[in-house]
Amino acid sequence: MQIFTYPESSQWVQLTQRAIVDQQEVMEKVKPILQAVKQHKDKALQELTAQFDGIELSNFEVTEEEIKQGCLDVDSQLKGAINSARINIRHFHESQQLPIKKIETTPGVQCWQRSTPIEKVGLYIPGGSAPLFSTVLMLAIPATIAGCKEIVLCSPPDKEGKIHPAILFAAHLTGVTKIFKVGGAQAIAAMAYGTETIPKVDKIFGPGNSFVTAAKQLVTLDGIAIDLPAGPSEVAVMADESAHPEFVASDLLSQAEHGPDSQSILITDSEQLANDVTIAINEQLKSLPRIYTAKKALENSRIILLSNLDEMIDFSNLYAPEHLILAVRNPNYVAEKITNAGSVFLGHFTPESAGDYASGTNHTLPTYGYARAYSGVNLDSFCKKITFQEITKDGLKKLGPIIETMAEAEQLEAHKMAISVRLNKI
């Protein structure tokens, strides 16, 4: 990790830059995949699955028998851990439900808002060497709480045409209605446009590689909603002299092992801590199975040494990290000043991996600086907000003249007439 010592504030913007991702090149490769699935449906999926996953499948849907066998193949300790995480995640997301509250804005004028579930949602769950079964929990649990009628899950098959057992167990546990052995951009296309086998959904959720990310962005042009823009995963650790170097090092590495394009940033006002963390990183790297991946990510990572806590807070808000760990003496004080972050972890004993798995918060978060304007996935992500209003005759008498004046000023006579004809009947 490169160390930047007391940079001028004019340099901060440059220091918050992520690695440049050339999405245009990827999109040009993804467009034919989307078009093929849109036109040829299951036939295209069979060809693309053979091409990219190395397996020929005649049936994409996971059967009940396969789900049962997958659940049996998960050891009891992992089952217990997944179930404990499920309870916490469900508890936190259930707390986001709000009662309908009717407001009388003017005597005789009532307004209210109701959350209505999105009927059909699609969940993309990456497979491969590190299958993200935890993401099933993060997406399927709020979907079921919201009341989504159809929850479709797509995940790439392995060379034997199977989906990882832990993904099947988590899907079964959380109420996923249909599971399909399809991965990559072709899975996004299938859920966006529908095939003979895979139903079309209204909104697509879930992480993925650059092809999946590009596919999600492209299908929005056809009216399909997605969860949020995605980029490489990232963490910022704000740490003062009270921080434990080995804790900070492990937090930075836990993000770096996600992928070679991940980014880990240490923001500190302690030169001693910066040096100690560097030593701890080099020591902990030796025991990581994904050492090559972590090392590549650290090449694009930085240690920012600043003068004081206020500068650290300002730099963090400018960076707008996906994950922000506050390894400082008074984390609650600092947390109140954080304006841009996907999820914040307070104190020396709150690692980011807790939020990744089991604390209860959602780990599907805005990356690449999108935390300046986007929230992470939550219960509302699976809902539509519909507003209602009801006006009595007395209410229209009071509100009508105001509407008429405004409509006339905007030269919308029919709008004014819709009020006038009613007032004339009262």
| Residue 59 annotated in ligand binding | no
E strands, 306-375, where?
A: 323-327, 343-346
Residue 323 among the catalytic residues: yes
Candidates 93, 164, 323, 363; catalytic one: 323
Confirm or deny that 258 is annotated as ligand binding. yes
Residue 124 assigned ligand-binding role? yes
Q: Is 184 exposed, middle or buried (0-12, 13-18, 19+ CB in 10 A)?
A: buried
Q: Any binding-site annotation on 378?
A: no
What residue type is assigned to position 55 of the chain?
Answer: I
Catalytic annotation, pick one of 322, 363, 390, 408: 322
Q: Is 227 annotated as a binding residue?
A: no
| Residue 272, marked binder | no
Residues 130, 164 contacting (CB under 8 angstroms): no
The response to whether 356 counts as a known ligand-binding position is: yes
2 carries a ligand binding annotation? no
Q: Is 323 annotated as a binding residue?
A: yes
SS3 content of the chain, % helix, strand, coil (to 5): 50, 15, 35
Residues 174 and 257: their CA atoms lie apart, in Å, by 27
292 marked as binding residue:
no
Measured CA to CA, the distance from residue 62 to residue 67 in angstroms comes to 7
Contact 33, 48 (CB under 8 A): yes
How far apart, in whole angstroms, are the C-alpha atoms of residue 179 and residue 269?
49
DSSP secondary structure code for residue 372 in this structure: G
What stretch of H or E contains 285?
helix 271-285
Is 322 in the active site?
yes
Binding site feature residues: 124, 186, 209, 233, 255, 258, 323, 356, 410, 415
**Enzyme catalytic residues:** 322-323
